Amino acid sequence: MIFQFWGATAEEINSSVVGDNLFRDASLTATRSITINAVPNDVFPWIRQMGFGRAGWYSYDWLLADIQERYAGWFAPHVARLIKQSRH
């Protein structure tokens, strides 16, 4: 895959992230990263607005359709819980 590890350090590529346990047998993984020269408190408000039911859900349409179809019973309640928790 082109740009499979775009901008990512070896540590970022080899570390685990939330959701890795859902796709243990994935045939392809990709880690794309950027470095932001700012303190977390300045960046987090921008990141927090991204995601399901918010300012943007950034992914590939085919991937979202597959995830929603496979994990429909799991997906919505967990996302709703995360959104509720992040608003407090």
Shared-domain flag, residues 44 and 29: no
CB 5 within 8 A of CB 31: yes
Tokens 């082109």, located at residue: 2
Shared-domain flag, residues 26 and 49: no
CB 35 within 8 A of CB 7: yes
Shared-domain flag, residues 53 and 28: no
Shared-domain flag, residues 62 and 76: yes
pTM (two decimals): 0.46
What is the percent of the chain with per-residue pLDDT over 90, rounded to a whole number?
Answer: 15
Shared-domain flag, residues 21 and 55: no
CB 54 within 8 A of CB 29: no
Shared-domain flag, residues 44 and 27: no
For residue 76, give its domain range. 38-88
CB 42 within 8 A of CB 48: no
pLDDT tens digits, 22-64: 888 888 888 888 888 999 899 888 887 776 666 666 666 666 6
Query: Distance between CA atoms of 64 and 33, rounded to whole angstroms?
Result: 20
Shared-domain flag, residues 14 and 42: no
